[in-house]
C-alpha cells in the first residue's frame, strides 16, 4: 500500500518533530539589530548535505548552498537558508511554534519570532493603493497612482 498523499506543504507530525529537533541542534535564527534581514540557517559539513536537502524538500522553501572549505583541514560546508520574510512568517513560525521542543533554542526562537512578527506587522514596506476612491493601483507620489498623478499634475 502506498503512503497517503496530502495537498498541504506541511510535513507530517513525526517528520516535523524531527526537523524541529534538528533545527534545535544545528540551526540558527538570525537577525542583525537595526536590520530588516531575518533568516533561519542550518550549517553543516558537506558529509551531512542530505540533512540540508531533507529540510529543503520537506518544507518546500529555502535553498541549499555549498561552500568550499575555509582551511585545508576543514570540510566543505553546506547551508540550508531561508531568508524570504513571507516563508519565515507563513511556514517557519507556525512549524516552530508547534514542534520546536522546550530548550534553550526555543527561547532564542521566541525572541527572534517576536522581532520578526513585529517587523512583519509594523515596519515592512507595504504596497498601498491609490487614495482615489475605487482605484486599487499602487500608490506612487502624493498618495496617487501613476494615472491619477499625471491627470492631476500633468507631468
Ordered per-residue pLDDT tens for the chain, 155 residues: 444 444 445 567 888 888 999 999 999 999 987 778 999 999 998 889 999 999 999 999 999 999 888 888 888 899 999 999 999 999 999 999 999 999 999 999 999 999 999 988 887 767 778 999 999 898 888 889 999 999 998 86
Asked if residue 135 and residue 117 are part of one domain, the reply reads no
Asked if residue 75 and residue 37 are part of one domain, the reply reads yes
Q: Which three cell numbers stand for residue 52?
A: 540540508
Asked if residue 92 and residue 26 are part of one domain, the reply reads yes
How many domains, the chain?
2
By residue range, what is the domain housing residue 89? 13-123
Asked if residue 135 and residue 101 are part of one domain, the reply reads no
Asked if residue 51 and residue 91 are part of one domain, the reply reads yes
Contacts of 29 (CB under 8 A, 6+ apart): 38, 39, 40, 108, 109, 112, 113
d(CA 43, CA 135): 47
Asked if residue 131 and residue 101 are part of one domain, the reply reads no
Asked if residue 118 and residue 45 are part of one domain, the reply reads yes
Tell me, yes or no, if the pTM score tops 0.85: no
d(CA 12, CA 46): 27
Amino acid at each position: 500500500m502506498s503512503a497517503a498523499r496530502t495537498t498541504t506543504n506541511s510535513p507530517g507530525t513525526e517528520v516535523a518533530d524531527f526537523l524541529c529537533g534538528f533545527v534545535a541542534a544545528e540551526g540558527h535564527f538570525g537577525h542583525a539589530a537595526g536590520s530588516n534581514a531575518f533568516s533561519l540557517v542550518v550549517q553543516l559539513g558537506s558529509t551531512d548535505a542530505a540533512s540540508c536537502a531533507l529540510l529543503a524538500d520537506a518544507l518546500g522553501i529555502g535553498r541549499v548552498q555549498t561552500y568550499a572549505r575555509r582551511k585545508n583541514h576543514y570540510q566543505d560546508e553546506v547551508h540550508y537558508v531561508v531568508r524570504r520574510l513571507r516563508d519565515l512568517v507563513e511556514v517557519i513560525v507556525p512549524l516552530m511554534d508547534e514542534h520546536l521542543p522546550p530548550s534553550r533554542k526555543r527561547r532564542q526562537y521566541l525572541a527572534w519570532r517576536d522581532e520578526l512578527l513585529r517587523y512583519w506587522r509594523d515596519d515592512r514596506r507595504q504596497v498601498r493603493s491609490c487614495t482615489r476612491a475605487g482605484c486599487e493601483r499602487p500608490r506612487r507620489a502624493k498618495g496617487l497612482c501613476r494615472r491619477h498623478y499625471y491627470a492631476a499634475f500633468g507631468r
